[in-house]
């Protein structure tokens, strides 16, 4: 009997395709495959084989009993094309998951004929048009996810009225309009998750939603909903865990003056975890009954409202709260010391209010506190010594208050501190050496606009990871310590408005990443160091109102400076417009004449003898030649490759002896010089600094290996390499249009005057995405670049973008013939403990010790997009806004007028004059798309970022759209909100 049963199963598997229903299912899949125009992951490869049974096709699951297809799961396959209506012929289908692909076009209404369907997921595609009303026929459907598309129109009432089995609904991040279609005739009793955030929905929260008594998660954020906070409905949701209503137009009760009824309605929700009401202009006092909210509450977001009054001490009863955000309200009174009872608090935001009194020392007892923001208040008194107990503290923001007294040296015990901002207070005394020695600071130290005095501590040099130091507008005296050269990651240094004296240390010019230097309004003397003039990174300099003397050149970093950078230095002279000329006296000329004549008369024989000596020595010496690329690796792999043999002497001649005039850039591991070979080939020679051997040697070998083994039109190609014990260089073609950075910031251009327009920028970004996609997905060796930024993107004569600088890149290990997992990763720091990459472009997970990964490159690309659109360097935003570029852009995104300002400013910078209204609308939409893609790529959670392959396809779509003006206008998603937050939705 068993044998008979087994043979029957085998027979059905072998001959089952003769079953008419299964043949019909197979034909439906073949029709679906015909609508696929791109399958980069070969997800449908098995579908093309005649020897593989249809039930064994990838993504296909059959019902063992009837041998009919019951599940089609092709999620995350990077498929591109349209969804064929032929899928409606899969009459037994119960699960259809096409999420996280690149499907375009409309959602086929024929999918509404799949009456057996229980789960439908089409999220994270590019679907447009309306949700078919035919979906109202899916009587068995309990899971529906169509979020993150370009859907528009109203939600069909038939969907909510007829499909009463729905338990999970996600239509978020689309462009849906109208009201939420629920009334007494449309009841969803089984509904547990309703996610409609980031749409254009209007009206009130429907009272009929109170019938969904099993509701656990309601997210209606970033819409245009109105009315009072839904206190009446909340009583009917005993299982509610998450309530997100941020960025709408909700008000509190009694004409926006009473929050108590709403908080009362939350008291009995024993599983409640998150409440978000930010950005609603909600009024009223915080009632003392806030302390009676469920102790299960983990996050409370009430920022950007009109809440007034004091913080009730009873709030400390929320003992499990990890995040408290009351910033940007009208709150006054003092900070209740009882907050120390909330021992699990990790982030506290109380900024931009009217809090007064002293900072309670009891806050130092909150052991897990990682962020404390009390800025923009009226706090007075001293900084508590107890903050030394906050060993987990990473960000301390106390700026713009009325704090006084000295900086407690005990802050030096906060060994994880990354940001310390005490600016714009009345703090006095010396800068403690313990604080100056905080080597953990990775972002910035801001002590400006206080009453600090005394010398600059030598220990400042121990901040070898800090990005910015601002000590301006104090009473600091003494000299500038040369130890500052040890702040090797420093990009911004402001010492202006003090009483510093003595010369500027020449070592400041050795800071390889410094972009801004301001020493104005001091008592500094002597000449301005030549090393500053030779810097290839400096963008802004201010030496005004000091006592500098000597000659100032107009070369290098000084070539774009104006007289405003030198005002108040009467003894300076030079070629800067508005500066006095440097006139030599006649006596100098006479001395020169009488000095030269004896040399000409008696020195010629000596010169001839010296020349003969040098020639003999050079002939006896072994020629210093550039070796072929294959000499570093296996010669078998490169024996057929032909590379020119360029001698060291030829490099010397080509670059003029590697002089400062031929220097075009410098980086972590060396300098780049431009040159011209004898055959007029224009080259860039990357000379590595061999004085720091270990990591430099590894970097040189790594870059050679990557450039040798990768080949793509959007990656820099290698001409030759030179590897000798005391000289290592890589010879590359010189790009006619320099780096992208010099076009984004003309002050770095050194003669580059071509203004890029939106079309050119989209093409450049598309080129970069294609090159990075190749490195991540198609290269013979998978590569994580680790340092993607504008200065590492070069432009040729046709403005084709090429990614360069692979000095800190990482190779993905594994079988090179197989697709490498996206999770392939490596240590995110190198031997000296520095984060891989450049500050501002580094993915947040790297700062928490995570490994370098392809998702980190995606983050850097997203920052690049946001930088291009906003016109702001990410480090400038960090310094002046106290947040990442992603966070700053996202805040603007929630306010339509601020978002429009960013778009309009971008169009003014990049759009050609005289464009038509219709064309300007097209460019406007494209800029919005770039912002949204940048926000998606820079999400805090790495797992929710798109892959570089996805990004390349999206950039390709934008490029095609710009070159085809007859195509349909792109629909722009209105908000990004939760998708770009660090709190990722369950089940997404």
Q: Which segments are annotated as binding site for ATP?
A: 686
Identify the CA nearest to 840 among candidates 324, 409, 430, 467. 467
Binding positions: 686
Q: How many H-runs (helices) and E-runs (strands) does the chain carry?
A: 22, 54
Annotated catalytic residue, options 787, 857, 876, 950: 787
All residues at 6 or more sequence positions from 569 whose CB lies less than 8 Å from its CB, including other chains: 543, 544, 545, 546, 547, 548, 549
Q: Could you give the C-alpha distances from 517 to 279, 492, 543, 919, in angstroms and in order?
A: 37, 6, 9, 41
Could you report how far apart the first and last alpha carbons of the chain are, in Å?
A: 47
Question: Quick one: CA dihedral 696, 701, 705, 708, positive or negative?
Answer: positive
Q: How many residues does the chain have?
A: 988
Identify the CA nearest to 252 among candidates 224, 202, 286. 286
Q: Is 174 left (phi over 0), alpha (psi -120 to 50) or beta?
A: beta
Q: Please tell me the chain's helix, strand, coil percentages from 3-state DSSP, rounded to the nearest 5.
A: 35, 20, 45
Q: How many CA atoms lie within 13 A of 880 on its CB side?
A: 9
Q: Find out whether 118 and 142 touch, Cβ atoms under 8 Å.
A: yes
d(CA 79, CA 98): 9
Cβ neighbourhood burial of 415 (10 Å; 0-12, 13-18, 19+)? exposed
Q: Where are the beta strands (DSSP E) in 86-191?
A: 95-97, 102-106, 119-121, 126-129, 143-145, 150-154, 168-170, 175-177
Q: Could you give the C-alpha distances from 529 to 468, 504, 575, in angstroms and in order?
A: 21, 7, 16
Q: Is 571 considered catalytic here?
A: no
Q: Which residues pair with 300 in a beta bridge?
A: 275, 324
Radius of gyration of the chain (CA): 33
3-state secondary structure of 169: strand
Taking every pair of Cα atoms in the chain, the longest distance, rounded to a whole number of angstroms, is 121
Residue 856 has a CB neighbour count (10 Å cut-off) of: 30
Q: Could you give the C-alpha distances from 1 to 8, 11, 93, 103, 511, in angstroms and in order?
A: 11, 15, 32, 49, 83
Q: Which residues are catalytically annotated?
A: 787
């Amino acid at each position: 009997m068993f044998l008979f049963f087994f043979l029957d199963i085998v027979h059905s598997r072998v001959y089952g395709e003769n079953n008419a229903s299964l043949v019909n299912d197979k034909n439906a899949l073949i029709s679906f495959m015909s609508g696929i125009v791109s399958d980069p992951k070969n997800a449908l490869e098995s579908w093309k084989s005649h020897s593989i049974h249809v039930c064994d096709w990838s993504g296909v699951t059959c019902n063992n009993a009837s041998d009919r297809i019951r599940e089609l799961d092709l999620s995350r396959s990077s498929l591109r094309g349209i969804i064929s209506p032929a899928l409606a012929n899969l009459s037994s289908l119960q699960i259809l998951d096409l999420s996280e692909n690149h499907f375009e076009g409309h959602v086929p209404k024929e999918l509404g004929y799949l009456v057996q369907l229980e789960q439908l997921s089409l999220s994270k595609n590019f679907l447009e048009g309306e949700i078919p009303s035919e979906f109202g026929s899916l009587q068995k459907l309990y899971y529906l996810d169509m979020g993150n598309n370009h859907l528009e129109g109203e939600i069909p009432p038939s969907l909510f009225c007829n499909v009463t089995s729905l338990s999970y609904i996600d239509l978020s991040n689309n462009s849906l309009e109208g009201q939420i279609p629920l009334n007494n005739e449309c009841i969803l009793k089984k509904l547990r998750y309703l996610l409609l955030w980031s749409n254009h929905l209007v009206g009130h929260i429907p009272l009929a939603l109170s019938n969904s008594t099993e509701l656990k998660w309601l997210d209606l954020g970033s819409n245009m909903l109105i009315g009072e906070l839904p206190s009446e409905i909340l009583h009917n949701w005993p299982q509610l865990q998450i309530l997100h209503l941020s960025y709408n137009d909700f008000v509190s009760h009694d004409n926006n003056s009473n929050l108590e009824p709403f908080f009362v309605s939350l008291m009995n929700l024993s599983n409640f975890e998150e409440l978000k009401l930010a950005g609603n202009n909600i009024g009223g006092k915080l009632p003392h009954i806030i302390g009676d909210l469920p102790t299960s509450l983990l996050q409370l977001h009430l920022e950007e409202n009109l809440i007034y009054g004091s913080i009730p001490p009873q709030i400390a009863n929320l003992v499990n709260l990890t995040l408290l955000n009351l910033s940007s309200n009208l709150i006054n009174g003092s900070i209740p010391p009882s907050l120390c009872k909330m021992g699990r608090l990790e982030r506290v935001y109380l900024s931009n209010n009217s809090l007064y009194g002293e900072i309670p020392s009891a806050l130092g007892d909150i052991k897990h506190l990682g962020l404390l923001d009390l800025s923009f208040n009226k706090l007075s008194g001293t900084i508590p010594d107890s903050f030394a107990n906050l060993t987990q503290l990473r960000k301390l923001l106390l700026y713009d208050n009325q704090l006084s007294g000295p900086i407690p040296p005990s802050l030096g015990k906060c060994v994880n501190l990354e940001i310390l901002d005490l600016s714009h207070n009345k703090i006095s005394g010396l800068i403690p050496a313990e604080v100056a020695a905080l080597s953990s600071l990775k972002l910035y130290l801001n002590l400006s606009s206080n009453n600090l005095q005394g010398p600059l501590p030598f220990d400042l040099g121990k901040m070898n990871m800090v990005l910015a130091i601002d000590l301006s507008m104090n009473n600091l005296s003494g000299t500038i310590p040369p130890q500052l050269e040890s702040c090797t990651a420093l990009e911004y240094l402001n010492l202006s408005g003090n009483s510093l004296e003595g010369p500027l240390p020449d070592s400041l010019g050795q800071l390889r990443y410094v972009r801004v230097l301001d020493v104005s309004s001091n008592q500094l003397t002597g000449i301005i160091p030549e090393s500053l003039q030779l810097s290839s990174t400096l963008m802004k300099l201010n030496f005004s109102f000091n006592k500098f003397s000597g000659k100032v050149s107009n070369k290098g970093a000084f070539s774009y400076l104006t007289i405003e950078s030198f005002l108040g230095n009467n003894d300076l002279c030079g070629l800067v417009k508005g500066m006095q000329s440097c006139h030599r006296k006649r006596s100098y000329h006479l001395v020169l004449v009488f000095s030269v004549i004896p040399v000409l008369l008696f020195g010629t024989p000596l010169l001839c003898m010296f020349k003969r000596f040098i020639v003999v020595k050079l002939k006896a010496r072994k020629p210093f030649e550039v070796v072929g690329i294959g000499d570093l690796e296996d010669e078998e792999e490169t024996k057929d490759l032909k590379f020119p043999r360029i001698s060291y002497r030829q490099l010397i001649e080509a670059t003029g002896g590697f002089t400062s005039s031929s220097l075009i850039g410098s980086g972590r591991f060396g300098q780049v010089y431009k040159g011209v070979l004898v055959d007029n080939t224009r080259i860039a020679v990357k000379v590595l600094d061999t004085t720091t051997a270990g990591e430099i040697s590894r970097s040189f070998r790594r870059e050679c290996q990557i450039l040798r083994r990768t080949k793509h039109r959007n990656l820099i190609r290698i001409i030759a390499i030179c590897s000798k014990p005391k000289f290592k260089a890589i010879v590359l073609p010189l790009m006619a249009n320099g780096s992208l950075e010099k076009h984004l910031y003309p002050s770095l251009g050194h003669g580059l005057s071509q203004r890029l327009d939106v079309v050119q920028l989209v093409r450049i970004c598309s080129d970069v995405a294609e090159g990075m996609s190749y490195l991540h997905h198609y290269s013979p060796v998978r590569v994580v670049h680790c340092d993607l930024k504008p200065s590492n993107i070069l432009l040729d004569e046709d403005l084709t973008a090429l990614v360069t600088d692979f000095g800190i890149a990482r190779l993905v290990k594994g079988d090179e013939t197989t697709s490498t997992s996206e999770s392939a990763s490596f240590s995110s720091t190198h031997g000296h403990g520095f984060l891989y990459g450049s500050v501002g472009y580094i993915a947040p997970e790297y700062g928490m010790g995570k490994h370098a990964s392809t998702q980190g490159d995606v983050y850097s690309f997203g920052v690049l997009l946001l930088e291009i659109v906003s016109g702001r360097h990410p480090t400038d935003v960090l310094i002046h806004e106290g947040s990442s570029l992603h966070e700053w852009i996202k805040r603007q995104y929630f306010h339509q007028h601020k978002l429009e300002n960013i778009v309009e400013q971008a169009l003014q910078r990049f759009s050609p004059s005289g464009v038509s209204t219709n064309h300007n609308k097209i460019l406007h939409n494209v800029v919005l798309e770039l912002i949204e893609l940048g926000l998606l790529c820079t999400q805090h959670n790495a797992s929710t970022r798109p892959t570089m392959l996805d990004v390349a396809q999206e950039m390709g779509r934008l490029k095609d759209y710009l070159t085809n003006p007859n195509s349909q206008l792109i629909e722009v998603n209105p908000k990004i909100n939760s998708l770009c937050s660090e709190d990722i939705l369950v089940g997404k």
